[in-house]
């Protein structure tokens, strides 16, 4: 009788191990299906992937990035000429009435666009809405960044003592609010509106996509 006990214990061990593996897999699956956890993890994944790709191709993008710096300076000049004729651009240097700023790659809004794009791609919305939201949102961020640089030129020309505050603190915080605002606008205009249209269309082919959003 006593000799049978070890055999019974050995037979029970695989079942106990298998049950533990199933329970562990269930907990992992439950965590992944939790939107409060899944969304920030997906955002982080997209940020790492996007940043890694950009860093890998950075050496080959020197000239396009330099052209982007010059184009940003020129765009700021064009924006300011709507209100004044004292704005000029030369290369990546843009000036307003004698006060100049140099446009470097950190000034063109690429990081903000990357963060926004990661937030959009990770959002549980139909892929059509995501693929529309990325370029349209990046254009909005680009325009907002031009306004930021133009404002810094005005502050530097007329209130130079406040330039560092606006450059380092005010606009950095405002850029975060801007990303959130553009993301919220995309959700309202494309995701929620598309969801409402799909729900109103009955049980058509688009209904499941709207329900996911």
Assign 3-class secondary structure to the chain.
CCCHHHHHHHHHHHHHHHHHHHHHHHHHHHHHCCHHHHHHHHHHHHHHHHHHHHHHCCHHHHHHHHHHHHHHHHHHHHHHCCCCCCEEEECCEEEECCEEEECCHHHCCHHHHHHHHHHHHHCCCCHHHHHHHHHHHHHHHHHHHHHHHHHHHHHHHHCHHHHHHHHHHHHHHHHHHHHHHHHHHHHHHHHHHHHHHHHHCCCCCCHHHHHHC
Give residue 204's pLDDT: 40
Give residue 208's pLDDT: 37
Give residue 58's pLDDT: 82
- Compute the distance between CA of residue 131 and CA of residue 121 in angstroms, rounded to an integer: 8
Comparison of pLDDT for 160 and 196, the residue scoring more? 160
Residue 195: CB atoms within 10 A of its CB come to 21
- Give me the domain span that covers residue 184: 57-212
Kindly state whether residue 19 falls inside one of the protein's structural domains. no
Give residue 13's pLDDT: 53
Convert the pLDDT of each residue in 102-130 to its tens digit.
Answer: 999 989 999 999 999 999 999 999 999 99
Kindly state whether residue 22 falls inside one of the protein's structural domains. no
Kindly state whether residue 139 falls inside one of the protein's structural domains. yes
- Per the structure, how many domains does the chain have? 1
Strand partners, 88: 95
Kindly state whether residue 87 falls inside one of the protein's structural domains. yes
Convert the pLDDT of each residue in 154-179 to its tens digit.
Answer: 999 999 999 999 998 998 889 899 99
Kindly state whether residue 5 falls inside one of the protein's structural domains. no
């Amino acid at each position: 009788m006593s000799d049978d006990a070890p055999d019974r214990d050995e037979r029970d061990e695989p079942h106990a191990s298998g049950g533990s593996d199933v329970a562990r897999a269930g907990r992992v699956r439950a965590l992944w299906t939790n939107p409060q956890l899944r969304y920030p993890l997906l955002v982080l994944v997209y940020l790492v992937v996007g940043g890694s790709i950009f860093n890998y191709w950075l050496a080959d993008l020197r000239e396009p990035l330099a052209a982007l710096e010059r184009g940003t300076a020129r765009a700021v000049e064009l924006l300011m000429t709507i209100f004044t004729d004292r704005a000029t651009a030369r290369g990546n240097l843009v000036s307003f009435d004698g006060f100049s700023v140099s446009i470097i790659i950190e000034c063109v809004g690429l990081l903000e666009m990357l963060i926004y794009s990661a937030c959009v791609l990770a959002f549980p919305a139909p892929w059509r809405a995501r693929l529309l939201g990325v370029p349209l949102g990046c254009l909005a961020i680009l325009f907002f960044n031009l306004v930021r640089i133009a404002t810094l030129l005005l502050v530097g020309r007329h209130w130079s003592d406040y330039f560092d505050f606006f450059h380092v603190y005010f606009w950095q915080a405002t850029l975060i609010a801007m990303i959130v605002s553009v993301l919220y606008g995309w959700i309202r205009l494309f995701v929620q509106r598309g969801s409402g249209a799909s729900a109103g269309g009955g049980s058509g082919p688009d209904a499941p996509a709207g329900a996911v959003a």
